[in-house]
Amino acid sequence: MFAIEISCRLGFESREDDVMPKDVNPVTEPPHQSKQGALARTALVVSVVLLAAADLGAKTWAGGALADGHTVDLGLMQLRLGFNSGVAFSLGAGLPASVVLAITGIIICALAILAWRATRSATRTVRLALALILGGAVANFIDRATDGVVTDYLHTGWFPTFNLADVFITSGAVVLIVATLTGRDRTNVMGTPEAATRQARGPHDN
- The pLDDT tens digits for 38-57 are 899 999 999 999 999 999 99
Q: Between 125 and 23, where is the model more confident?
A: 125
Query: Tens digits of per-residue pLDDT, 176-187?
Result: 999 989 865 454
Query: Tens digits of per-residue pLDDT, 121-138?
Result: 889 999 999 999 999 999
Q: Is the pTM of this model over 0.75?
A: no
Given 17, 166, 185, 205, the catalytic residue: 166
Euclidean distance between CA atoms 165 and 143, whole angstroms:
10
Q: Residue 10 pLDDT more than 50?
A: no
Given 55, 143, 152, 185, the catalytic residue: 152
Euclidean distance between CA atoms 182 and 97, whole angstroms:
38
Query: Tens digits of per-residue pLDDT, 65-99?
Result: 999 988 899 888 999 999 987 766 566 667 777 88
According to DSSP, the residues that pair with 162 across neighbouring strands are 154
Residue ranges of alpha helices (H) inside the chain are 2-19, 31-65, 97-118, 124-147, 164-181, 193-201
152 in catalytic set? yes
